[in-house]
Structure 1
Amino acid sequence: MTSTSGSLAADLLADARRGSETSLGKLMQLHASYLKLVVASQLDDRLRARVSSSDVVQETFYEAHRDFPAFRGATPEEFLGWLRRILMNNLLRAVELHLKAAKRDVRREVSIDRAQGPGDRSVAAIASQLPHVGDSPSASIQRRENADALGHMLNSLPDDYREVIRLRHQEGLDFSEIGDRMGRSSGAVRMLWLRGIKRLRGLLDEGSEG
């Protein structure tokens, strides 16, 4: 980090400490390119087709924004180290969820194709993506077992949440394409997707406890 950028980062961190969300956002964006390079250097070849560097970084920013009150560092260097730890946790989760579950998912897809109609398969496809925002594999498997219940939960979401989840997981669109469909920026629909998935996971948690 150059002296100029280091000074800017220090000023932004100080402002963020005083409660400025705008400064916190700018501080995170200073490190976006670096974090994307970290993702690109760490991703397994088998994951590159399934995991977007931008998605991992955006998820990291979402978690960092949410958890910033718990950050105890005092310098920009400590903040960057904190961001990197969050990022690496997200990458490790991706490895666990995508690679270790690959064979199981193939078997499940064959089973689902035989047992369910097209609508149910779409719901199951969405369910299989829920771990992207963090969950244990065993819990995710249990929650995926009842596609009908998940379908009802999806229908209970606000229209914008339901639509962004449908476009992302049923039509396979990237966030820029979803933004074009919904008349929003790619960053806005990415955050909308994260909130929708969080809401859906909350419903799943309630259902698993009932």
Structure 2
Amino acid sequence: MVATDSSSAPPLASSPDPTSGSNHAGFASLLAQARAGNRDALGELLQWYANYLTILASTQLDRRLRRRLNPSDIVQEAMMAAHQDFGDFRGTSQGELLCWLRTILIHTLHRSFKRNVTVEKRDIRREVSLDSVSNRLEESAGNLAAILPANSPSPSAPMQARERAVALADQLSELKPHYREVIVLRVLQGLSFDEIAQRMDRNCGAVRMLWLRALESFKNK
């Protein structure tokens, strides 16, 4: 998996929480409208998952690639493809839609890498293992649930793993970029404080303090 350097990551878009009860009902309504040809409804539906896709795209870009590729641009290209090919989506659930969107994102990353990176005698698809990143994100949702404030939804609530990952990405989008970066590197990618210090060009003590401030900010969201 390509290493993350999210120091230059742009702020993520604000999205509604697709895991709430009202949005579960809203999903079915928007999906029906989108299938009836309502492009505005389709745009609103896809926007729910923009933060999730942006987090996944960000984890695939190291410092070198970030000079050429922007996660937001990659996600925008993927969203355009989703709009164009929405007639091919046959699912009925949010989980199925997320799986379909991740597949589109994989193909978009693959095309972007082919345009911007010279790879000799190596299958670039192996380098863009987006499913493994997605699984890590979903696992991290459970880890982050332990640091949620008391008035947050219970981590034991009946919520699918993919939906927890979407909610996690939306919460991360509300943080300052350097707070989001240290949480992603520490929790999502499992890096040590020494490794994070090298990635963020800070000393280890400063990274530990940043980590504590990031957790406090996350709890207050």
TM tier relative to shorter chain:
0.3 to 0.5
TM-score calculated relative to the size of structure 1 = 0.45
TM-score calculated relative to the size of structure 2 = 0.43
Bigger helix share: 1
Higher relative contact order (CA 8 A, sep 6+): 2
